[in-house]
Amino acid sequence: MAEIRYIDAINQAHHEEMAQDARVLVLGEDVGRKGGVFGATMGLVEKFGEDRVIDTPLAESSIAGVAIGMACNGLLPIAEFQFADFIHPAFNQIVSEAARMRYRSNGVYGCPVVFRAPYGGSHGTALYHSQSIEAFYAHVPGLKVVAPSTPYDAKGMLKAAIRDPDPVLFLEHKRMYRIVRGEVPDGDYTVPIGPAAVRRPGRDLSLFAYGWMLSESLAAAEEMAREGIEVEVVDIRTLAPLDTATILKSVAKTNRALIVYEDNQFLGYGAEIAARIAEEAFFDLDAPVMRLAGPDVPGIPFAKPLEEWFSISRGKIAASIRTLAAY
pLDDT in tens, 262-302: 999 999 999 999 999 999 999 999 999 999 999 999 999 99
Q: Residue 239: enclosing H or E segment and its boundaries?
A: strand 238-240
- C-alpha of 18 from chain center: 22
pLDDT at 122: 81
CA distance 265 to 253: 26
DSSP 8-state code for residue 91: H
Q: Which domains are assigned to the chain?
A: 2-184 (3.40.50.970), 197-325 (3.40.50.920)
DSSP result, 151-204? HHHHHHHHHHHHH-SS-EEEEEEGGGTTT-EEEE-SS-----SS--EEEE--SS
**Residue 305 pLDDT grade (very low, low, confident, very high; cuts 50, 70, 90):** very high
The alpha-carbon radius of gyration of the chain (Å, integer) is 19
Q: Is 88 a catalytic residue?
A: no
Condensed to tens digits (0 to 9), the pLDDT of residues 202-259 reads 999 999 999 999 999 999 999 999 999 999 999 999 999 999 999 999 999 999 999 9
Catalytic site residue from 123, 129, 139, 173: 129
Is residue 208 within 8 Å of 242, Cβ to Cβ?
no
CA distance 182 to 6: 8
Condensed to tens digits (0 to 9), the pLDDT of residues 10-48 reads 999 999 999 999 999 999 999 999 999 999 999 999 999
CA distance 154 to 16: 13
**Is omega for the bond preceding 241 within 30 degrees of 0, making it cis?**
yes
Neighbours of 186 (CB within 10 A): 8
